[in-house]
Amino acid sequence: MESLFRCPVCGAPLTRETHVYRCPNRHSYDIAREGYTYLLPPNQKHSAAPGDDRGMAAARRDFLSKGYYRPLLNTLCCQILSHSGDSPVILDAGCGEGYYTAGIYQALTAAGKTPRMAGTDISKAILRSAARRAHGVEWAVASSFHLPVADGTADILLDCFSPLALEEFRRVLKPGGRFLYVVPGPTTSGS
Q: Tens digit of pLDDT for each residue in 23-63?
A: 999 999 999 999 999 999 765 555 555 566 677 777 777 88
Indicate the average pLDDT of the chain. 90
CA 122 → CA 14, 143, 155, 191, distances in Å? 19, 5, 22, 42
Mean pLDDT for 144-161 is 96
pTM higher than 0.75, yes or no?
yes
Cα–Cα distance measured from residue 98 to residue 127, given in angstroms and rounded to the nearest whole number? 8
Q: Where are the alpha helices (DSSP H) in the chain?
A: 54-64, 70-82, 99-110, 124-133, 166-172
Q: Which letter, b or e, does each residue of 90-123 get, where b requires 16 or more Cβ atoms within 10 Å of its Cβ?
A: bbbbbbbbbbbbbbbbebbeeeebebbbbbbbbb
The 10s digit of each residue's pLDDT in 64-77 is 889 899 999 999 99
Residue 26 — left, alpha, or beta (φ > 0 → left; ψ -120 to 50 → alpha)? Answer: left
Residue 166: pLDDT above 60? yes
Cα–Cα distance measured from residue 118 to residue 91, given in angstroms and rounded to the nearest whole number? 5
Percentage of the residues of the chain whose pLDDT score is greater than 70: 91
Cα–Cα distance measured from residue 158 to residue 150, given in angstroms and rounded to the nearest whole number? 16
Band (191; pLDDT cuts 50, 70, 90): very low
The 10s digit of each residue's pLDDT in 114-145 is 999 999 999 888 898 899 888 899 999 999 99
Cα–Cα distance measured from residue 38 to residue 181, given in angstroms and rounded to the nearest whole number? 25
Sign of the CA dihedral with 158 first, then 74, 77, and 40 last: positive
- What is the model's pLDDT at position 78? 96
Reduced DSSP (H G I as helix, E B as strand, rest coil) percent helix, strand, coil of the chain, to 5: 30, 30, 45
Q: Do residues 136 and 108 make contact, with C-beta atoms less than 8 angstroms apart?
A: no
For the chain, the C-alpha Rg in angstroms (whole number) is: 16
Percentage of the residues of the chain whose pLDDT score is greater than 90: 70
- What is the model's pLDDT at position 57? 72
Cα–Cα distance measured from residue 35 to residue 21, given in angstroms and rounded to the nearest whole number? 11
